[in-house]
Structures are given as C-alpha cells and as structure tokens.
Chains A and B, each alone.
Chain A
Amino acid sequence: MNLRRIGISLIAPGIGLIVSLAATAVILTVIGASVSTVFASMWNYGTSPRAMSLMLNLATIYFLSALAVSIGFKMNLFNIGVNGQYVLGALAGAVVASNLTLPKTASVTVTIIVAMFVGAVWAGISAWLKVARGVSEVISTIMLNFIAIGIISYIIVRTSIGTETSLNIRGTKPIPETGMLRGSAFIDSGTPIYGFFFISIIIGVGYWFLLNRTRFGFDLRATGKSATAARTSGVQSNRMIYVTMLLSGAVAGLVGLPYLLGDTGSYTLQFPTDWGFIGIAIALLGRNNPLGIALGAILWAFLDISSGQLVLEGVPREISTIMQGLIVIVVVISYEVVRRYQVKSEQTNVAKALAKQEASV
C-alpha cells in the first residue's frame, strides 16, 4: 500500500514533466527551432560540471525560499512576503558581517542568527496584523515587500551604510573574507558549491522533523487541515499564527545568505529581489515535502541555468520560463486528478468489500 502511495505521488510530477516537455516541443516547432537540438544542448550543457555547480548553488537558494513558503502553507497561511523578509535579512546580515572580526564559524553563525531574526520580525508584523486587526496575510506580506525595498534603498542611498562599491553600483561595505562561506569546489574546479548547500540540507531535515515528529508539527498540520477542529481540541490558533509566521520568516531570512556569503560579499542594489515568488512555485511542485521541494528546486535551477545556453544558440530565454510555468500548472492539475482518482478508487474498494460481506452473509 505504501509503495502504491509513493507511486501515485510520483505520477503527478511525472505527468507534469512529460506534458510540459511536449508543449515546449510544440512551441519550439512554432518558432522554428529544432526541438531535438534545443533539448540536447540544454541537457548537455546542464550536465557539465560548471553548470551543475551553478545549478546546485541556485537550487540551494530556491530550496530555502520554498521551505519558508511551505511552512506557512502547511497551516493555510500564505507568506507571499518571503521577498521582503529575505532582502531585509540579507541586508542586516551583510551590515553585521562586514563589521565583525570574529573567527569564521562564529562570524557566520552570528550572520545567520541576525538574518533569521530580521526575517522573523518582518513576517511577525503580518502575523500581528492578522491576529490583532484581522488583516489577511496575503495583503500585508505583499505590501511589506514593497516597504522592504523602499527601506533598503533609503538605507543604501541615503545613509552612510551604503558606499559606492563600483561605478554606478551602491551597496554595503564588503564582508571580510573571514565572514564569508564560499564553500568548496568539488564538482567543477572553478565554481565552488556554496557552503550553504549543506546548511540547507540540515534545515530541510529539521523542517521534516519539526512537522512530522513533534507535538508542534502535529498542531500545525491539524490547524491547517481544520482550524475549528484544532481549536476545539485545545490548539491556540492565535499562538499558532504567530509561531508559524515567525518560523516562516526566520527561514525566509536565510534565502539571500547563500549568495551573499558565497558570492557577492556585499548587499548591493543589484541584489535579486524575486526569489520569494519562485519559492511559491517550487513549494507547490514539491507538495510542501522537503524531498519534493529539493527536487523541484533542482529542476527549476536546471531550467534557469540551461537557459543561458539557449540564448547563445539563438533560442529565446523565455522558453525556459514557459516550461517552468507549464510544469507548475500541469502538476497542480494532475495532483487534483490523481486525488480524485484515489478517492474514487477507495470508494470502489469499500463498495466491493461491502458487497462481498453482504454476499457472504
């Protein structure tokens, strides 16, 4: 039965991948590109050591973002504000790390704690607004994204925290090498894998443990399934909202760190600001399951990275964006189809069993 369940849970993403590949092939044919050449070159390039290293690094970022989103999803809370939470977390981390003169482990730990704290506080505003004022977290988190961007520009442009790191680029003071977590180059000699790759695995395991093996995780899932039932059985829903949003925000605070500590070493105005939305899509793909999210993150990163090769061959980069969109739509639809099939087959099984019983009486 368990095996069958795993099989069924793999059907939906499988269908998603196949259908989106087929649809992409149609689009490629329409725009006059060779389907086999495009797929082959995406695959060949995507499996080269350098591309794989870049892919794992990007996947690390996406994984953390999707994890942050899915903590909220588990409780029916939509944290659309991962963007705002991680940019502020990364900025705070960058400012603190650039002023630290501690040994590497201590410096990185402090940076992580600061980023998580800031992310949590920013998400906490939405939790408070929801509990105290009844404001939907969808609205408040998305609005707080804009406010976060505004605050950051103010800090970097108007205060002494921002300096001109190179012509026309402003950012925070560079983090000293002792505060960086560049990782090691074990796939491609020139492209290190972020040290955060391993940290994110630990966080993934911690997420699984917290949700599936603790009282808190049970309460959280119960509240997500039915808030009224959970309340009746003694779960304090307001407290749950606070804790869930704070946790989600704390993980979101980490999203920018792999890139900050593994790559740029400074929070500049060029820092990407849309990883939170990508996390939403990947959390959906991965069904809020850490393993599924990891696979989804790798797939997403693969498509992103190999799109660089596509443009070089004259195929528009948007092809991979189209594929990503198609995968999300098809997977969500096929999950629903599979679920209906499951419900129906359960009903048939029960009916059969009942019929047998009756016949034997």
Chain B
Amino acid sequence: MLKGVKLASVLAVASLALAACGSSGETAESAEPTAPTSSVKVGMAYDQDGKGDGSFNDAAFAGLSKAQTELGVEIKEVNSGSSATDATREELLTLLADGGYNPVIAVGFAYSTALAAVAPKYPETTFAIVDSVVDSANVGSLVFAAEQGSYLTGVIAATASKSGVIGFIGGMEIDLIKAFEAGYIEGAKSVNPDIKIESKYMGAAGDNTAWNVPEKAKTATDGMIANGADVVYAAAGGSGLGMFQSVKAAADGGATVWAIGVDSDQYTVPALAEYKDIILTSMLKRVDVAVFDVIKAVVDGAPLVGVQNFDLSKDGVGYATSNSAVSEFAAAADAAAEKIKSGEVVVGTTVQ
C-alpha cells in the first residue's frame, strides 16, 4: 500500500506541477500604471490562463491597455484558470459586475453560457464577448471574419512558396479554427490551384490542451517542412510558438522557409523577438480594435451592443505588414482584399 501511495503522490503532484507549468507563460509587459482620469472601470475576463499567448488574449490586452492610456479608464483583469467551469466563469463575471466594472468584457467563446446567465441580472452594466453571440440587450457580441483574413495569408503563402507545398497548424479542431483553415486554403488555391496544403490540428475538439502544446506543434511543423512545405501558418494560440521554433531551426539550417502568425502582429511581440526574422506576416484578428471600440463606446455614453461583425471592410481582420519582406507579396494580397470587399469573392468557412 505504501508503495502505492508513493506512486500516487508522485502522479498527483506531477499533474499539479504540470498544470502550474502550463500557466506560467510570460505575460506581456503591462502598461505603465497611470492614474485613471475617467470614471469608467473596465473589467476583463480571460479564459483559462489568459494573457501571455502572444496571440489572441494578448490582442485583447492590447486593446485594453490602449484604452487605459488613451481614455484614462481604470482596468481590472482576471482569468478563469485551467479547471474552469461555467459556474466559476459565471462567478468571475458576477464579481466584476458587482464590483462596479462597466463594461465587463469576456474574452473567448467559453464564456457564452456564463455570460448569458449573468448579463440579464445586471441590466445597467454593458457586457461584451469575443468570438461568440450572446442574445441579451446589454451584450455586445464581437465576431470576426477570420476566414477573410486567412484568405489573404493564403494568397501570400502561395505566392511566397517556391515548393508548391504549404502548411497549416490548427489549435483545437473546432468550427472556429476550421474557418481559418478554410480561408487559407481557398486563398492559396486562388493563386495556385495545384498547391499542396498540409493541415494538422493540435487536439481534437474538447481537448483543452490543444492551445498549449508548442512541442507538438514543433514536431508537426518539422514533419511538414520535411515534406517540402516552405510556408506554414498557425492558428493555434500558445501552441503556435512550436511552429516558430521549427521554422527558425529550418531557416538556421539554410532553408528558405517562412512562418505566418495569427491574431496579434506576432512580428512585433516582444516574447517572440528571437523568431521575428522568419515571421513573414500575421493574420490580424483585430480583437484589440473591437475591445477598444467597446470601451470607447461606454466612455462616450453610447454602448455598443448586439452583434458586431468585424470583417475586412471594417478592418476587423487583415494581414500585418511590419516585416518589410511581405511587401513583395502585398500587391497580390491587396488585390484579393479588394475582391472580398466588393463581394466578388465570398470566402467560405468550411474546408471544401
């Protein structure tokens, strides 16, 4: 029995330690705490481990800190932790609403059930949710046309590729991420109908580890590069780091390979500075713009509620130009963007 207890203790402690490791991501430098000049208090709830993914959550944070400096609002950030349930998410939102935070912004579709329960109880508070639709009079639902932005990165990838093979790394295999893949494939095929696209997801739907397994993403990207891929695009949250590592290793070995980032402009993310040389561009999902707009609307006294669709025409999605190497392919991408805006091209959200 004693031996058993030892083994079990080791396992139990190891699982805790692992849980802690998963959440120890470097958080981005927080903005200089300036004294708030506005009476608006913004509460922001991230899901699971929150900030530090250099991608989706950090984009939301960028919008928040912009509001802090430009609008002088007071901010409060919370995260739901790795074993969050709808009940604990609901409690977080309740605590924020109770604490007088208005607007309360929930980052991620995981909050939709919790927000649907909390929002009607606080009719005076404005809520917002990213990537989901919650039907309540005081909720702004911020959704993005990720397939349109991904179409542009697909165009860039296919134009930049010399081998005719490109790769896609997805996080969790859910419709939300499959829209990225679908747009990317469609964009690539619009340039080169014979292009070969290798896709891999880091976890099945429901596998919550999918966003945080860079080592798995690295192995997958290694495999794609071995199969001839010379441009790889990742829409995989924190797992995307593994793609950068793999592409960087291949580039250091003399190969001409590019990585395409997601959500934030990952070329400029400090935590990813050592990989910036190989980051050709990033598919921008302007969560920062959406978050800032929501806060500004509350400051201006005209809260943004209902479904807010951030697509290409609203600059809600796009591609990053901070790496000058992308200028070579910008003409093709911009032409594609015009076609989407004019309705000549309608990008699908499911892989054909």
Contact = CB atoms under 8 A, between A and B. Distances in A.
Interface of A: 50-51, 54, 57-58, 73, 76, 78, 80, 138, 149-150, 152-154, 156-157, 164, 166-170, 224-225, 259, 263-264, 268-275, 277-278, 280-281, 283-284, 304-305, 307-309, 311-312, 317-318, 321-322, 324-325, 328-329, 332, 335-336
A270 B8 contact: no
Given A50-B91, A324-B16, 19 more contacts: A54-B88, A58-B85, A73-B8, A78-B11, A149-B206, A168-B176, A170-B205, A264-B86, A269-B205, A270-B110, A273-B206, A283-B8, A304-B83, A311-B79, A312-B78, A317-B23, A321-B16, A321-B20, A329-B9
Interface in B194-239: 204-208
B133 A167 contact: yes
B137 interface: no
Nearest to A264: B86
20 contacts: A51-B91, A54-B91, A73-B4, A154-B204, A166-B133, A168-B109, A168-B112, A169-B132, A170-B205, A264-B113, A269-B206, A280-B15, A281-B15, A305-B88, A311-B79, A321-B23, A322-B20, A325-B13, A325-B20, A335-B5
Contact of B206 (A271, A278, A307, A336): A271
Sort chain B's interface into a size bin: 35 or more
B253 interface: no
A301 to B, nearest CB: 10
Contacts of B84: 272
B206 A153 contact: yes
Contacts of B145: none
A281 B206 contact: no
A336 B3 CA distance: 12
A167 B132 contact: yes
A250 to B, nearest CB: 20
B86 A312 contact: no
Interface string B62-94: 000000000000001111011111111001101
A304 B110 contact: no
Nearest to A322: B20
B302 interface: no
Contacts of B83: 272, 274-275, 278, 304
Interface of A is mostly: helix
A308 B88 contact: yes
Interface in B160-208: 173-176, 204-208
Interface in B229-267: none
B272 interface: no
A32 B137 CA distance: 41
B88 A318 contact: no
Interface of B: 1-2, 4-5, 7-9, 11-13, 15-17, 19-20, 23-24, 76-79, 81-88, 91-92, 94-96, 99, 109-110, 112-113, 116, 131-134, 141, 143, 173-176, 204-208
A318 B23 contact: yes
A263 B87 contact: yes
A267 to B, nearest CB: 9
Contact of B174 (A168, A263, A305, A328): A168
B85 A269 contact: no
B318 to A, nearest CB: 21
A304 B83 CA distance: 9
B146 to A, nearest CB: 11
Given A153-B207, A270-B110, A312-B78, A78 B7 contact: yes
